[in-house]
């Protein structure tokens, strides 16, 4: 299906993970790419979050597309924080816009900056840095931007990695062994889910694109239920 522009509702992708400890209804939202004309993107993200009723929202980087999107970011964070706690990590576009500025806005609007930190949610440990070693006995989640982070996260034994960045390559023609082509020719992690050792990886196609054109690659958020 061809999508030109970004005016269709976001697809909500459901994923389930079994755990013997705590339960968590988690919404992962990546690659929002706020700019000057993305008020409708904010509306789409809020509508998706409200319909999912998550307990926690993780923002997986590229919150803004460029510095112009910083003026819209407080509204997004504050509206999401009114639904449930919001924890965020940066992406490459946030670095271009100014990581410190993005962090300050997220925190001022009621969110938590997870980069370089780890937090506990019951029996579940959620980290924003692949170098942090999971606690023994915890179900460990890495909130990442880059799917390739799974390679390092698998070494200390993370249970789950959530990532974005690739946008599904915006064009999907065929699946082969879990990989989505043609994007998988450029990145081995182009697809929906992968197993790297004992670590499970979910890759989001993202919410928005710098060039808004897609084929068979719906813009999405991931509702991950851990139970």
* HEC per residue, the chain: CEEECCCCCCEEEEEEECCCCCCEEEEEECCCCECCCCHHHHHHHHHHHHHHCCCEEEEECCCECCHHHHHCHHHHHHHHHCCCCEEEECCHHHHHHCHHHHHHHHHHCCCEECECCEEEECCEEEEECCCCCCCCCCEEEEECCCHHHHHHHCCCCCCEEEECCCHHHCEEEEEECCEEEEHHHCCCCCECEEEECCEEEEECCCCCCCCCEEECCCCEEEEEEEC
The whole-number pLDDT of residue 11 equals 98
Q: Distance (Å, rounded) from C-alpha 182 to C-alpha 195?
A: 20
pLDDT for res 209: 97
In the chain, what are the domain boundaries?
Answer: 7-226
Give me the pLDDT at residue 84, please.
98
What's the rounded Cα separation, in Å, for the pair 6 and 39?
Answer: 11
Please report, in tens digits, the pLDDT of each residue of the chain (227 residues total).
899 999 999 999 999 998 767 789 999 999 999 999 999 999 999 999 999 999 999 999 999 999 999 999 999 999 999 999 999 999 999 999 999 999 999 999 999 999 999 999 999 999 999 999 999 989 999 999 999 999 999 999 999 999 999 999 999 999 999 999 999 999 999 999 999 999 999 999 999 999 999 999 999 999 999 98
pLDDT of residue 227: 86
ω before 182 within 30° of 0 (cis)?
yes
pLDDT, residue 22, reads 78
**Topology adopted by domain 7-226:** Purple Acid Phosphatase; chain A, domain 2 (3.60.21)
Return d(Cα 38, Cα 69) in angstroms, integer: 8
């Amino acid at each position: 299906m061809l999508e030109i522009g970004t005016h269709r509702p976001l697809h909500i992708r459901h994923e389930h993970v079994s755990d013997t400890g705590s339960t968590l209804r988690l919404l992962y939202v990546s690659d929002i790419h706020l700019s000057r004309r993305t008020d409708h993107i904010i509306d789409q993200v809020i509508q998706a979050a409200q319909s999912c009723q998550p307990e926690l929202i993780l923002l997986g980087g590229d919150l803004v597309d460029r510095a112009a999107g910083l003026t819209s970011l407080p509204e997004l964070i504050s509206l999401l924080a009114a639904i449930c706690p919001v924890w965020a990590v940066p992406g490459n576009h946030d670095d271009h816009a100014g990581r410190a500025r993005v962090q300050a806005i997220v925190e001022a609007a009621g969110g938590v900056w997870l980069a370089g930190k780890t937090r506990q949610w019951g029996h579940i440990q959620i980290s924003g840095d692949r170098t942090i070693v999971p606690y023994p006995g915890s179900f460990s989640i890495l909130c990442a931007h880059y799917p390739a982070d799974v390679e390092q996260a698998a070494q200390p034994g993370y249970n789950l990695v959530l990532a974005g960045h690739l946008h599904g390559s915006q064009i999907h023609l065929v699946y082969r062994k879990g990989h989505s082509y043609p994007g998988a020719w450029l990145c081995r992690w182009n697809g929906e889910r992968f197993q790297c050792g004992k670590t499970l990886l979910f890759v989001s196609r993202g919410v928005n694109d710098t060039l808004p054109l897609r084929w068979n690659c719906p813009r999405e958020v991931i509702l991950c239920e851990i139970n």
